[in-house]
Amino acid sequence: MATRERGRGRDDEELTGVLTAVGPRLRALRRERGTTLAQLAETTGISLSTLSRLESGHRKPTLELLLPLARAHRVALDDLVGAPETGDPRIRPKPFVRHGATYVPLTRDIGGLQAFKQILPPRDPALAPPELKVHEGYEWLYVLSGRVRVLLGGGHDLVLLPGEAAELDTRTPHAFFNAGTQPAEFLSLFGPQGERIHVRARPATTPTSTSTPPSPEGRP
């Protein structure tokens, strides 16, 4: 009985230590993102006073509070509570399909830089080009196989072949699609917070290929 009580006491102490560390971790993460408490309150729907008490350790963190905070900071819930590392570096990706393309995640973390392998199916050449979209961040891509066509606002149009790379500011209107008759595969690195993948010393608003793009006659 005494042994069981001692074990329970150690578990309680460990839990208390984990919960106590959540507040400073939340504050550090918010400051790292450059976010104010008022901005975070607006994003999560959690009151300003509750957020302040969480960070100072005067409010016990609960799942209902931590889930919206994890989404707002774009981090895994484990990162907020300091879950121990598993020690296994292998990534077990779960592919998903979005807008007809297959995405294979190559990173665990849902925040910060993310890496994907993307597979684009062949596209009916009779279809009109897809709509150009914009969003925050920078994206870098490297073609593994097939032909990837990149359209940018301002009339920029190029086809990337295997071994070619490009990067772009995703605030520029853009679209990618398969330019060939076989599936096209490419690696993509994306920074949802606006992180930039540096392959040049200065930012650019159009993609830069590692080799000379094909001539207009070579495009579909």
In terms of domains, do 75 and 137 share one? Answer: no
Q: State the CATH number of the domain containing residue 151.
A: 2.60.120.10
pLDDT of residue 3: 44
The pLDDT value recorded for residue 143 is 96
Tell whether 86 is covered by a domain: no
Q: Is 55 in the same domain as 114? A: no
| Residue 206, pLDDT above cutoff 60 | no
End-to-end C-alpha distance for the chain, whole angstroms: 77
What's the pLDDT score for residue 218? Answer: 41
Residues 115 and 209 in one domain: yes
- In this structure, are 136 and 192 located in the same domain? yes
Q: Are residues 211 and 109 in the same domain?
A: yes
88 located within any domain: no
Q: Say yes or no: 43 and 110 in one domain.
A: no
Helix (H, G, I), strand (E, B) or coil at 91: coil
88-117 pLDDT, tens digit each: 667 777 888 888 889 898 887 655 678 899
Domain count of the chain?
Answer: 2
pLDDT at 8: 52
- pLDDT tens digits for 171-194? 889 988 999 999 999 999 877 554
Q: What CA–CA distance (Å, rounded) separates 94 from 104? A: 6
- Give the residue-averaged pLDDT of 73-82: 76
Q: Are residues 106 and 75 in the same domain?
A: no
How far apart are alpha carbons 86 and 100 in whole angstroms?
A: 34
- In a domain, residue 121? The reply is yes
Q: What is the pLDDT of residues 31-59, one digit of tens each?
A: 888 889 999 999 999 999 999 998 898 88
In this structure, the answer to whether residues 71 and 171 fall within a common structural domain is no
How much of the chain, in percent, has pLDDT values that exceed 90?
26
Question: What CATH number does residue 38 fall under?
Answer: 1.10.260.40
Do residues 152 and 209 share a domain?
yes
Residues whose CB falls within 8 Å of the CB of residue 62, separated by 6 or more in sequence, listed in order:
none
Q: Tell me: do 112 and 165 sit in the same domain.
A: yes
Same domain, 71 and 107: no
pTM of the entire predicted model:
0.49
Last residue of a domain, which of 33, 57, 81?
Answer: 81
State both tokens at 87: 């020690």
- Taking only the tens place, the pLDDT of each residue in 8-17 is 555 556 556 5
Range of the domain at 146: 96-218
22: in domain: yes
Q: Does 56 lie in the same domain as 158? A: no
